[in-house]
Amino acid sequence: MKKLVLLVVLLTLVVFVSGGIAAAPPKAETTPAPAAAATTAPAKLDKFSGTIKSVDEMAKSIVVVKGKAQKTFAVDENAKIIKGKTNLALADLKAKMPVRVEYKKEEAKMIAMTISIATPKAAPKGK
């Protein structure tokens, strides 16, 4: 009887040890990743063009409409606001200005990174 109990205990021990070895995850390779893969590419920016409906300097946001589409953008302190080659401030933006906004999405927010104010095209020069 003692031999039977000892045999059952040993078999149980062997089953648990072999199950633990079989379930162990495979070892990861130790070769380093290439340097190019380590750097992250800048996030792709989405674009939206339209006309400014309103500017809220206190909340640092603008509302841009195009047809029935309307989007509200938070204006980051690092956002570039440009008209031609001139840099502007948020206070320079006014309603009804045609703009193109390049923005990134963070959760439910759209954050403007670049706001380009459309400049009227010059008439072609005649001879």
| pLDDT the model gives residue 114 | 93
Give mean pLDDT in consecutive 10-residue pieces for the chain, a chain of 127 residues: 79 70 60 54 81 94 94 92 91 93 91 88 63
| pLDDT the model gives residue 29 | 59
CA distances from 29 to 21, 22, 32, 33, 104 (A): 19, 19, 8, 10, 36
Instruction: Please tell me what DSSP assigns to residue 96.
Output: T
Which among 99, 96, 92 is positioned nearest to 73, based on CA atoms?
A: 99
Q: What share of the chain is helix, strand, coil (3-state, %, to 5)?
A: 25, 40, 35
Let me know if domain 46-117 sits in CATH 3.40.190.10.
Answer: no
Beta carbons within 8 Å of 64's beta carbon, 6+ residues apart: 48, 50, 51, 52, 53, 70, 71, 72, 73, 99, 101
| pLDDT the model gives residue 53 | 96
| pLDDT the model gives residue 38 | 47
Query: Length of the chain, please?
Result: 127
**pTM attached to this predicted model:** 0.60
Segments making up each domain of the chain, as ranges: 46-117
Beta carbons within 8 Å of 36's beta carbon, 6+ residues apart: none
| pLDDT the model gives residue 108 | 87
